[in-house]
Amino acid sequence: MEFDKKARKIANEILKHREILVVTHIDADGISAGAIAYESLKRAGIETSIKFVKQLGDKEIEELKDKNTFIWFTDLGSGQIDKLTDLDFVITDHHIPIAKHEMQLNPNDFGLDGSFELSGAGTTFMVASKLKSERRTIFDFTDVNLDLINLAIVGAVGDLQDSAECMLKGKNRDIVKKAEKNNFLKVVRDLRFFGKQTRPIAKMLEYNIEPYLPGISGNEKGCVRFLSSLSIDPWKRWIELSFEEKKKIVSELVRLCMEFGMPYKNILRIVGECYILLDKPEGTEMRDAMEFSTLLNATARYGEEEIGLRVCLGDENAFKRARSLLQNHRKNLSEGLRLVEELGIEELKNIQFFHAQDEIPDTIVGIIAGMSFHKGNFDKPIVAFAKSENGVKVSARATQRLIERGVNLAEAIRKAAEKVGGSGGGHKIAAGATIPEGKEIEFLNFLDEIVGEQLENRKI
């Protein structure tokens, strides 16, 4: 109830303003959050514009001060509250805040874990659902903007908030239940691999790494052989298969994992909750929350966040452009994976890494890092470097098994980056930083030591 009370308080503050700038992050969660804020403000009759940023650094904050307008920060801002003193704003974020603020809604302030219990889009939706288009209705507690609820789910899935237990939990769960109740969403237990709506099954299996499937993950020929042995067309899509065909594939995958000696809890991760958006066409990237979030990422990673925004708001022409960007995104990921194979992945005691220099865009090097686990060591977090306009971009990824063993990449990355004059943060399973060029080795040594301490502390 306290959370809802704070959401209502922030909504009422927003309604006092005639013009608002939405400032949001460029990932799937940020785009979803920004779209929720942008559309709900328009419906409330407030003049609205939106700005997407990779990070909220000193330069970006100074530029915002020059605009002299009220700002709604979504999916960012909590880590920079101390630098926003000359701005008039509200924040709906889920990253760990450095301080409390009267106009900040953040799950961490209410004893919730922002890494899996509520995303930036979910937090933003909680406020948007309290916005009334007429001043006289602000004390009517009936929720509004319910048709934007699926974007909260897309943001959470894009932020990997369902990865720990193969389902959305915490306040995310409340949102899921409300979306189901209002017939916007269908929750199904299914294979939790990316591409069920749009990819050939062979490709869906090839690019899956969580859990790693021996002889299948990263091996197209192995996927084709596997499916052919079951008399299933490798180039069909998952949604085109019968229930019996799906059951046959899942049963065989479980058998292979057991033969490989995979822990039972890892095998259980093959199947889990999937979120079907009932207001979107079947067989498209927008039908499944996981694929929708990847589509949004494909727009933002190439500087076309506005396309992602318009897709969220139902623009068909924008969807066509987004699909084109996604095709290019997949091509770049494939080339990036080939580059990693050529470079090789180097190992330290507790971590592994590769440096892409300027061969991989800094906006996608983190995705490639996550996809590269099968080329390295699943027992160590993977760290990727790429040159960026502000120095060297660091992206790190872990697996759920590593998190269970004590790894917290958000904390480790932040500490290591600060030691070399950079800054960073994120979540336990995925984090990033920007550090000065030439500091990579020093950073790696600090990070290796910190991750080692995390693993040792969990043993005690």
pLDDT tens per residue across span 39-95 = 999 999 999 999 999 888 888 999 998 888 999 999 999 989 999 988 999 999 999
Distance CA 198, CA 50 (A): 31
Q: Are 313 and 39 in contact (CB under 8 A)?
A: yes
Under DSSP, the state recorded for 110 is G
Work out the pLDDT band at 459, boundaries 50, 70, 90.
low
The type of residue at 145 is N
Q: What is the rounded average pLDDT of the residues 113-125?
A: 95
What pLDDT is attached to residue 457?
Answer: 80
Q: Are 211 and 221 in contact (CB under 8 A)?
A: no
Q: Which of 445, 327, 345 shows the shortest CA–CA distance to 397?
A: 345
pLDDT surpasses 70 at 140: no
Q: What is the pLDDT of residues 356-393, one digit of tens each?
A: 999 999 988 998 998 887 677 888 999 999 999 889 99
Q: Are 72 and 47 in contact (CB under 8 A)?
A: no
Tell me if the bond preceding 211 is cis, omega within 30° of 0. Answer: yes
Sign, CA dihedral 309-312-317-321, equals: positive
Under DSSP, the state recorded for 415 is H
Under DSSP, the state recorded for 210 is S
62-99 burial by CB neighbour count: b if 16+ within 10 A, else e?
eebeeeeebbbbbbbbbbbbebbeebebbbbbbbbbee
User: What is the CA angle 137-149-10, rounded to 5?
Assistant: 45
Task: Quote the mean pLDDT of the chain.
Answer: 91
Q: Which of 52, 45, 41 shows the shortest CA–CA distance to 76?
A: 52
Q: Are 44 and 18 in contact (CB under 8 A)?
A: no
Distance CA 207, CA 427 (A): 23
Q: What is the pLDDT of residues 239-283, one digit of tens each?
A: 999 999 999 999 999 998 888 887 777 788 889 999 999 999 999
- Tokens representing 187 are 């929750």
Q: What is the pLDDT of residues 301-358, one digit of tens each?
A: 888 999 999 999 999 999 999 999 988 887 888 888 889 989 999 999 999 999 999 9
Distance CA 159, CA 115 (A): 8
175 vs 54 pLDDT, higher one: 175
Neighbours of 375 (CB within 10 A): 17
H and E: helices and strands count for the chain: 17, 13
Q: Which of 270, 314, 283 shows the shortest CA–CA distance to 200?
A: 283
Neighbours of 361 (CB within 10 A): 18
SS3 363: coil
SS3 84: coil
What pLDDT is attached to residue 169?
Answer: 96
pLDDT surpasses 50 at 456: yes
Alpha-carbon distances, residue 274 vs 131, 188, 190, 261 (angstroms): 29, 5, 6, 26
Element (H, E) at 346: strand 346-347
pLDDT surpasses 80 at 298: yes
The type of residue at 172 is N
What pLDDT is attached to residue 137?
Answer: 47
What pLDDT is attached to residue 210?
Answer: 67
Q: What is the rounded average pLDDT of the residues 88-115?
A: 94
